[in-house]
Structure 1
Amino acid sequence: INLTQLGDNHPSIATTYNNIASVYANQGKYDDALSMYNKSLKINLTQLGDNHPSIADTYHNIGRVYDNQGKYDDALSMYNKSLKITQTQLGDNHPSIAVTYNNIASVYYHQGKYDDALSMYNKSLKITQTQLGDNHPSIAITYSNIGHVYSNQSKHKEAISMYKQSLKIQLSVLGRNHPDVAKSYSGLGNVYLAEGKHEEAISMYEQSYNILLSVLGHNHPDVAKSYNNLRNVYQAEGKREEAISTNEKSLKEKQEEQEKQEKQGEKQEEHEKQEEHEEKQEKQGENREQEEKEKQKELEEQEKREKQEKKQEKQEKQEEQGEKRHQEELEEKEKQEKQEKHEKQEEEDELA
């Protein structure tokens, strides 16, 4: 419709291409996403020029697709184009700049360029602290990301410090039962495991596992990953029985969860049937009510017709009687005139 009404190069068309691209990206259809983003970009470059914030957003989105494809150099190129425009239009301290720095850092992390990643994460952190304060969830995420980098550099002390700072913010802002809190516990568990501190690692992994299990349920990949981390530590410590116990507990909980879901499904199905039955009865009641209304209406109309017919019949009868009286009066008058004429004639005859 928009193509027909607005033509091929209207900004609204670019927006639609962008939205379609976003759907493709979420589906993992990255080539289709790139095709749509590039169509959007072409229109916006023509209509808005090279330095519009919408151009920066599209470059940023294309960069994310390349990042997900593992095309890190292409991703960096797009992110830097986006960064240049955003800095020009919004200044160096806008939250959008922090997001781009964070994504550039993520690319460097995937490339194993940890020092470059730390530099970008710290730039992002500085802007976010200035704009959002020290206790914003975004700050916690950046601390956690920095912790990942330090962990991969085997800088365990620094990694633990970052994860704990992240965890402190998350617990105060998000509460205990949040997936991000579970990730921080898991990150700490990874560091403690690398240090050979198995008891501390088990404690962290257990907390992570319990949170994810309560929030996501047994069938989520993150829960399975967390369970495997815990089992691997038990096995590393030679605690075969604990590993088996954990496995059996997980299987039992999974079975219980499945049974719970089945019961909920049955209950839901029963509830839906009940609702369907009630809806059917309600509809039948409405139909009966409608039928009764129609029947009553028909009776009223019939009664009205009968009254109208009686009225008309009475009127016709009255008219007929009126005509009959009028005719009788005419006949009587005519008879009287004849009588008078006859009498007059007789008088004339006598006089003659």
Structure 2
Amino acid sequence: MSYYLYYYQGKYNKAEPLYLRSLEIRERELGVEHPNVAISLNNLAELYQSQGKYGEAETLYLRSLDIKEHQQEVDHPDVAISLNNLAGLYQSQGKYSEAETLYLRSLDIKEHQQEVNHPDVAISLNNLAGLYQSQGKYSEAETLYLRSLEIMERELGLEHPNVATSLNNLAYLYKSQGKRSEAEPLYRRSLEIRERKLGAEHPAVAISLNNLAGLYDSQGKYSKAEPLYARSLAIFVKTLGQDHPNTQTVTSSLTLLRLRILTGFDPATLE
């Protein structure tokens, strides 16, 4: 649908009226408590969250969750999805205790409604690990990332894109701890999987290229980092456009890298 396309391209102003129209139609035709209305509310909340409109997003996430809990069982997998999304919002705001409570409840529902080694359980483990990482709880995060990766590899196969995501996240944890030698092979394997399974110009490939470039950049390996940043940028410009936040982030990283190469001066060291 076009509103999904606009959302993933970062064209939020074009996406919003389409999301609102979809919500209005569903409320009118299905009733304000219908599960499909909850889906529309969730989608609009994600859009607002992406724009940093946290208050608006929270209101919609809470309403979506309330509909699902009233129309379905409180331990239904769809409820777990809403809990996870609301937890992600709280995490992005630094509300870690609120986020942890929701992530744990979401994980508990998934483990009881599905097999403990189900890929959906692995996703919840990954999200909880990300929360712990953001709090500096690296040991707890590593345990969960490794368990999530193990489930993904066993249940989906070594070449699945979700495995690439798990590898990327674990690599980022190691980089955050200064374990660059452990991070590099994970970033590289994640990139290789995405290139083979998604195609050389997929946005997820651009993310992997940027992350690997960032690792080399942090090590002062500028000749390795520069072509990766450049390739990542070319993919983002082609697929998402010049104004997308991902494009702008890589543009900034590449510009700063080239300035360091030319002058030996790092503007990032200035206060």
Coarse TM-score class (shorter-chain normalised) = 0.7 to 0.9
Matched, 1:120 2:144: yes
Structure 2: distance between partners of 1:76 and 1:154: 25
Task: Assess, with a 3 A threshold, how the Cα gap between structure 1 residues 51 and 158 changes in structure 2: closer, same or farther.
Answer: same
Larger helix share, 1 or 2: 1
Matched, 1:25 2:46: yes
Structure 2: distance between partners of 1:221 and 1:73: 28
Q: Counterpart of 2:5?
A: none
Structure 1: distance between partners of 2:69 and 2:99: 19
Query: Could you tell me which of 116, 121, 124 is aligned with 1:97?
Result: 121
Q: Counterpart of 2:232?
A: 208
Instruction: List per-residue Cα deviations over 1:128-152 (Å, max 9, x = no partner).
Output: 1122111111111111111111111
Task: Assess, with a 3 A threshold, how the Cα gap between structure 1 residues 202 and 73 changes in structure 2: closer, same or farther.
Answer: same
1:66 to partner: Cα distance: 1.6
Task: Assess, with a 3 A threshold, how the Cα gap between structure 1 residues 200 and 37 changes in structure 2: closer, same or farther.
Answer: closer
Structure 2: distance between partners of 1:2 and 1:151: 45
Matches within 5 A, 1:41-190: 41-42=65-66, 44-45=68-69, 48-190=72-214
Structure 2, unpaired ranges of 5+: 1-24, 265-271
Task: Assess, with a 3 A threshold, how the Cα gap between structure 1 residues 2 and 166 changes in structure 2: closer, same or farther.
Answer: closer
Structure 1, unpaired ranges of 5+: 241-352
Structure 1: distance between partners of 2:223 and 2:28: 67
Structure 2: distance between partners of 1:40 and 1:179: 29
1:113 to partner: Cα distance: 2.3
SS at match of 1:237: helix
Paired amino acid for 1:223: T
Instruction: List per-residue Cα deviations over 1:138-175 (Å, max 9, x = no partner).
Output: 11111111111111111111111111100110111112
Q: C-alpha root-mean-square deviation of aligned residues, in Å?
A: 2.8
Task: Assess, with a 3 A threshold, how the Cα gap between structure 1 residues 40 and 172 changes in structure 2: closer, same or farther.
Answer: closer
Task: Assess, with a 3 A threshold, how the Cα gap between structure 1 residues 33 and 239 changes in structure 2: closer, same or farther.
Answer: closer
SS at match of 2:34: helix
**When the two structures are aligned, how many residues end up with a matched partner?**
237
Check the 8 A contact 1:14/1:41 in 2, yes or no: no
Task: Assess, with a 3 A threshold, how the Cα gap between structure 1 residues 89 and 186 changes in structure 2: closer, same or farther.
Answer: same
Task: Assess, with a 3 A threshold, how the Cα gap between structure 1 residues 202 and 77 changes in structure 2: closer, same or farther.
Answer: same
Check the 8 A contact 1:13/1:40 in 2, yes or no: no
RCO higher in 1 or 2 (8 Å CA, sep ≥ 6)? 2
Q: Counterpart of 1:16?
A: 37
Matched, 1:220 2:244: yes
Structure 1: distance between partners of 2:121 and 2:216: 34
Paired amino acid for 2:97: D
Q: Counterpart of 2:258?
A: 234
Check the 8 A contact 2:41/2:64 in 1, yes or no: no
Structure 2: distance between partners of 1:213 and 1:2: 35
Identity, % of aligned pairs? 33
Structure 2: distance between partners of 1:217 and 1:39: 33
Instruction: List per-residue Cα deviations over 1:192-233 (Å, max 9, x = no partner).
Output: 122222211223222222322333333333223222222222
Matches within 5 A, 1:286-305: none
Paired amino acid for 2:140: D
1:24 to partner: Cα distance: 2.7
SS at match of 2:201: coil
Task: Assess, with a 3 A threshold, how the Cα gap between structure 1 residues 39 and 196 changes in structure 2: closer, same or farther.
Answer: closer
Structure 2: distance between partners of 1:201 and 1:108: 29
Instruction: Answer with 1 or 2: which has the greater Rg.
Output: 1
1:120 to partner: Cα distance: 1.7
1:60 to partner: Cα distance: 2.0
Structure 2: distance between partners of 1:231 and 1:39: 43
Instruction: List per-residue Cα deviations over 1:103-126 (Å, max 9, x = no partner).
Output: 112212222323322222212111
Structure 2: distance between partners of 1:36 and 1:56: 16
